[in-house]
Structure 1
């Protein structure tokens, strides 16, 4: 049976890569994002990949628009089998430097948006006793880092909310909720972000391609599991954060300055937090060919944890 898949954040990055992966399987796709212009590009790509596509411009912070997204899917294809929630925004800068409205909008988009998508999806899944919700979380939903306080806060909340859903759907046969949490991914999100750090953001190494995350999401759609990590250094980083907090706190700021912020100076700007920025939307960023950075990043992380572990044992 052809699968009916809804993807939020489908205009760029992980969302677009995931939509294209499902399209290659011949899925019936519903693409959602804020930008009509970017969705038109995504629609052409997914149709060329073999998918049957419906486009529904959607701001996930608006519960009525999310409800309409799911209703439009049912009108067109008769049901909803899988919802992949990948829509998110982020902002760089020390907490006190990020304007309050920008901080609040990141929280609203990432947390309230996730709640809206979950509420509308799970109500339908429970009614039909069938369906899988896949939430795109982040390594930053399990650790903390400077210069991304609003995003870290939102992703911790998203992980917690998803975990609550997983417990609640245990009583509903046929309904599944899965979380995928990538590390750094080569997407435009870092350049699309609001920025009040004075230097452009970039994904700290090691950096994965969005297609790798999409493949994991595809596997979760076939065989749902509670949590799936994407990133060779994710578990090591979480270990350092949880088991060696004093060491982690000492090294994370210099590592973030070296790996997570570029040398390019930029003026403060709101990025795509308040409004979409279709000119910057695409499947990939500009970091995918730096093949030495993943090796260097892993070595740095491993070395830091090893040093910290020795310090703790003394």
Structure 2
């Protein structure tokens, strides 16, 4: 049976992955900051799983998690890291300590996980690490400076690690790259934008992203994008940056920030808190139509740019 470590397992994509792994009989190590959430998950879906409280931003905590997994099962075959936090707001409005903690969790946390996983993988000669990136690791968007900075850094880290593990053909470093996903990260985020965040359409389920992450674990490749318009948005970002920059601000305000007002707060950036789960239907058809229109505009702009380049 496959031994799988899941960091960020208490909610969202990590929780969905835990359910899928349990259903197929994997031996599980469930880790996150919320022990209560992990214990509830294990009791309902993964009896016998090792539950371990961890903050990925704390390197010592992550190393202890790796040691606990090996002590219980003798090895780690797959490590899927989905732990992440987010902060909304203009860069100058987000407190420095909040910005820094988002980086600590989403980038340094990924580095801590990778360091611990690779230590075990090197000792046993095999293993697959799956990091959860983001479309915002390929493009930029206003009001998400800390998250975008972290995810761009994580993508650079993943590629570097793939280069450095070319000498070990059975060690793999992968990234799953989702766009909008129906998870609590948006409503749990720190917020200094005045309006509660929401996943931009089209919105995928956490289960779909989890399935793709586990598929990477079974058949490793560098990256798997999850999101109908991801490639279109990336193409517009790269092909015609001025048009993209003109459109992305209005698009974010229309589809990535809800109409629900909120006072400034630090969300779950520094500590776990009760999650406010939602669903993509909550955003309504207007938001979906606006997102589709913006994606179409980016696609058209990119196509025009590509045509112009070919005509030179």
Query: TM-score normalized by structure 1?
Result: 0.93
Answer whether contact 1:206 1:297 (CA < 8 A) is retained: yes
Q: What is the distance in 2 between the residues matched to 1:218 and 1:118? A: 17
What does 1:130-209 align with in structure 2 at a 5 Å threshold? 130-209=126-205
Is structure 2 residue 11 aligned with structure 1 residue 16? no
Q: Which runs of 5+ in 2 are unaligned?
A: none
Secondary structure of residue in 1 paired with 2:68: helix
1:304: how far off?
3.7
Answer whether contact 2:42 2:48 (CA < 8 A) is retained: no
Kindly provide the CA deviation profile for residues 163-188 of structure 1, in whole angstroms up to 9, marking residues without a partner as x.
10011111012111111100000000
What does 1:1-314 align with in structure 2 at a 5 Å threshold? 2-47=1-46, 52-277=48-273, 279-280=274-275, 285-288=278-281, 292=285, 294=288, 297-307=291-301, 309-310=303-304
Answer whether contact 1:188 1:286 (CA < 8 A) is retained: no
Kindly provide the CA deviation profile for residues 211-270 of structure 1, in whole angstroms up to 9, marking residues without a partner as x.
110110111111000010000100000000001101000000000000000011110000
Answer whether contact 1:6 1:31 (CA < 8 A) is retained: yes
Q: What is the distance in 2 between the residues matched to 1:58 and 1:106? A: 16
Q: What is the distance in 1 between the residues matched to 2:305 and 2:125? A: 52
Q: CA 1:166–1:291 in 2, change beyond 3 Å: closer, same or farther? A: farther
Report the count of equivalent residues: 307
1:307: how far off?
4.6
Answer whether contact 1:9 1:16 (CA < 8 A) is retained: yes
Q: CA 1:65–1:266 in 2, change beyond 3 Å: closer, same or farther? A: same
Secondary structure of residue in 2 paired with 1:224: coil
1:289: how far off?
6.4
Answer whether contact 1:132 1:175 (CA < 8 A) is retained: yes
Answer whether contact 2:239 2:302 (CA < 8 A) is retained: no
- Of the structure 1 ranges 289-298 and 93-102, higher mean CA displacement relative to structure 2 is found in 289-298
Answer whether contact 2:232 2:298 (CA < 8 A) is retained: no
1:75: how far off?
1.1
Q: What is the distance in 2 between the residues matched to 1:232 and 1:154? A: 23
Q: Which runs of 5+ in 1 are unaligned?
A: none
1:36: how far off?
1.3
Q: CA 1:288–1:20 in 2, change beyond 3 Å: closer, same or farther? A: farther
Secondary structure of residue in 2 paired with 1:30: strand
Q: CA 1:7–1:288 in 2, change beyond 3 Å: closer, same or farther? A: farther
